[in-house]
Amino acid sequence: MTKHFSLSRQLAQALLLAAGVAASQAHAAKAVPAASAGAAQPKLVVVLVVDGLPQEQVTRYRDQFGQGGFRRLLEQGAWFSDAHQAHGITVTAIGHSAVLSGAYPYQHGVIGNNWIDPVTKKSVYCTEDGNFHYIGEETQPDDGTAPTKLRVSTLGDELRYSTGDQAKVVTVSGKDRGAILLAGKTGTAYMYMEKTGNFASSTYYMQQHPQWVQRYQAAKPQDRYYGKSWTPLLADSAYARDARDDLVPAKPGTRNTFPFAYYSDSGKLDGEYYSRLKSGPFLDELTLEFARAAIDGENLGRNPAGVPDILGVSLSAHDYVNHAYGPESKMSHDHLQRLDRMLASFFLDLDKKVGMDNVLVVLTADHGFANVPEFAETRGFSAKRIDGAKLVDALNQHLATSLGIDKLVTSSSLPNIYLDYALAEKGGVHRAALEDAAARFLQQQDGLAQVYTRTQMETGAVATRMDTLMRRAWNRQLSGDLMVVTKPAWYFGKGSGGTSHGTPYTYDTNVPLMVFGPRWIKPGVYGQYAEVVDIAPTLAHLLRVRQPSASEGRILTEAVR
């Protein structure tokens, strides 16, 4: 690896090519068409992130989409079929950070949903900050309240800077990290509160909600789903390609077949009910409803200063559904079809409120998904869940036996493992010897494909695409002394049900990237390699603002008018 990964993406990929990596992955720079000085800017940029949506689901279920949702973006916008979250740890926080920063974790500093703080040695959450609390809601110490840990600027930050803070940047999500990391430092984030079903902001952004939020909360739209059920949208024959229910083992205490009822055991509107709403289509319906309220309440797209606004909407439910049942399940299939219809309705309302000829829409995802292991095995693949705690315990025991020093592994937040170099040196074991002993042991364990050491990350040369993706995900100050990669179809997880994500494999990295806005975007299907980090510089070009501070993406010139 390079000593500090400051290479441009073009140079980094030249190294990849020299090492024999396929030329099809090259991400060459192109001439950038000059934005006409007289060209109208979009009045509203809408950035949609579907949490946990792999590209393959879009293509697999495309024939069943309606006319106004995904199909509108696919057929009337620019669709990049080979787009990737191009870093090695594909999780929600990292993926959302990439969308509007154009940066990789080694720079933006969000290296996971959680990681180990290098000073306190305790686990920290990506958006926690004890200096702030939710407005009108109970706040726990590790709740996400602020973008403090995001080290770089976002497109929204640059737009607000260039307009003297006259542009508005508003984001909403079912997850705090989904909203906060899209909003950047100077936008305003609203997130779903699972104990009350409200959408609320935090005191990082304001001390009191504006009146439009208070009116929205007072109407209690989240209560209308009590006693209702989620049932299939389409005829039974439409789900013939999906995995059988018996290949989607349910987690203890949960169902794996329709219908899914929304209620609480107490019979009252309480936190159990509001939490249940997250794992199904009603959470996304509420999120889009709040986004509509934000458009009206903040006058988005009709800014009195005549400057563009940004609305970020992170739709969280698909991730919850895929975790529980897998992307091959009937439940995931149905949820995507329901989301398609929700988007169609949302776009119609956008047209009425702002006019779609004034709106630029981007849709992407923060990561993809692995198949449920039980399903993957029926396809002939080796697939299992790896108990991370047992793996780390076994590593500690091995190091104690082989090197004669106890507790050389201080902590872990997989795929990161942290070592006690000082303790090793005190016992006469040099850093390199400790790393080598740990790496050799881990490489012999079932389900692990690769182990990277701190020494490799700091001094090694980029040799393969996986090396590049993992290096981008490694932050010198925050990441572990070891980073482990599972074999394809394996993942870190406990229990006997569900699946996950987080690897550098294509099923986790290949995500949708669609851009719609006929005045600025040339419609078409683009097979050119693209990355989610390309979104921010492309939008910066169209908005005529400075690119975010650590952006490494390219302008998608092939799709820009």
What pLDDT score does 33 carry?
Answer: 53
- Write b or e for each residue in 457-494: b if 16 or more Cβ atoms lie within 10 A of its Cβ, otherwise e: beeeebeebbbbbbbbbbbeebbbbbbbbbbbbbbbbe
Amino acid identity, position 349: D
Q: Which pair of structure tokens corresponds to residue 120?
A: 């306190």
Fold adopted by 42-377+505-526:
Alkaline Phosphatase, subunit A (3.40.720)
What pLDDT score does 39 carry?
Answer: 62
What pLDDT score does 154 carry?
Answer: 98
CB 435 within 8 A of CB 453: yes
| Residue 245 burial by Cβ neighbours in a 10 Å radius (0-12, 13-18, 19+) | middle
What span, in angstroms and rounded, lies between the C-alpha atoms of 525 and 50? 20
Rounded alpha-carbon distances, angstroms, from residue 516 to 72, 425, 523: 8, 57, 8
Length of the chain: 561
CB 170 within 8 A of CB 298: yes
CB 144 within 8 A of CB 93: no
Phi, psi of 368 (to 5 degrees): -100, -145
What pLDDT score does 11 carry?
Answer: 37
CB 144 within 8 A of CB 122: no
- Domain 9-22+384-488 matching CATH 3.40.50.12780: the answer reads no
What span, in angstroms and rounded, lies between the C-alpha atoms of 370 and 506? 9
Which residues of the chain form CATH 3.30.1360.150?
Answer: 9-22+384-488
pLDDT in tens, 461-478: 778 999 999 999 999 999
SS3 283: helix
pLDDT in tens, 7-55: 333 433 433 333 333 333 445 444 555 544 446 899 999 999 999 999 9
Which residues, given as ranges, of the chain have pLDDT below 50?
Answer: 1-26, 28-30, 35-38
User: Which residue shows structure tokens 């926080």?
Assistant: 93
| Residue 556 burial by Cβ neighbours in a 10 Å radius (0-12, 13-18, 19+) | buried
Which residues of the chain form CATH 3.40.720.10?
Answer: 42-377+505-526
What pLDDT score does 460 carry?
Answer: 75
Nearest to 135 by CA among 28, 190, 207, 188: 207
